[in-house]
Amino acid sequence: MADTREAVAALNAATRSALIAAGRVDDTTVATTFAGQRIGLGDLVVTRRNDATLGVANRDTWIVTDVGGRGGLLVTPAGTGTGAVPGGVTPTGGASRVLPASYVAAHVELAYACTAYGAQGDTVSAAHLVVGESTGAASAYVGMTRGREANTAHLIAPDMEQGRSSGSPSSPATEPTSALATPPGWPPPRPPATHPPGRWRRSWPSSGWRGRTNRTI
């Protein structure tokens, strides 16, 4: 978590680059959002607009399992350790969703990091907060109370000495760290592509679908 969208965008980009280098995300065939984010197979994403016809809600998180040649995505719910989708709006159950290119471009974002405001109400096993000059008490409180087992603050400073002087010398919790840690068990193994990129048609589940039963993304 961070307190500004600019910081979140930088964290998302850095995390995605590391996952690509590790072979956990495929950057070969991607969908591109209006904000310029590239989204490929294996990426963790969040939907930012309710759409009953697509079966998605604002702040639901998903794993990309395929990318269509027209910029659409095939996604499955991204469960946490408790089996719940962060945000708790759309229940899990393994059902895939097809997101058309128009929705992806306007209403899908990478979800490796989020603002403290956007994390309100979420509970995870371990939470990490990047603390900067603009981090206020409200953001710090939210960021440091999301984790059930651990909550870690990462202080931004030019060097370790200045980082130590910025915090309380009597509190071990303010000791700065040099790098963000990866939560245990994350990221999950990259799902295999089940269709040639850009050349497949997905049948929509019969329950909860109104309209056409097939959609090409």
What would the pLDDT profile of 149-184 be if each residue is shown by its tens digit?
Answer: 999 998 877 777 776 776 543 333 334 443 444 444
Chain segment 35-59, per-residue pLDDT in tens? 999 999 999 999 999 999 999 999 9
Please check whether residue 26 lies inside any domain of the structure: yes
Please check whether residue 157 lies inside any domain of the structure: yes
CA distance 112 to 199: 28
pLDDT for residue 83: 35
> Same domain, yes or no, for 10 and 65?
yes
How buried is 137 (Cβ within 10 angstroms: 0-12 exposed, 13-18 middle, 19+ buried)?
exposed
pLDDT for residue 20 is more than 80: yes
The whole domain housing 132 covers: 124-174
Chain segment 85-125, per-residue pLDDT in tens? 444 445 545 589 999 999 999 999 999 999 888 888 888 89
> Is the preceding peptide bond at 192 cis, omega within 30 degrees of 0?
no
CA distance 130 to 157: 11
> Same domain, yes or no, for 106 and 13?
yes
Which residues, 6 or more positions from 191, have their beta carbon under 8 angstroms from its beta carbon? 41, 42, 63, 65, 76
Q: Would the pTM of this model clear 0.85, i.e. be above it?
A: no
pLDDT for residue 159: 77
Please check whether residue 161 lies inside any domain of the structure: yes
> Same domain, yes or no, for 14 and 88?
yes
> Same domain, yes or no, for 69 and 135?
no
Q: Which of 12-21, 96-105, 167-176, 190-199 has the lowest mean pLDDT?
A: 167-176
Please check whether residue 94 lies inside any domain of the structure: yes
The H-assigned helical ranges of the chain are 5-21, 101-107, 137-143, 160-166
> Same domain, yes or no, for 167 and 201?
no
Query: Does residue 193 or residue 66 have the better pLDDT?
Result: 66
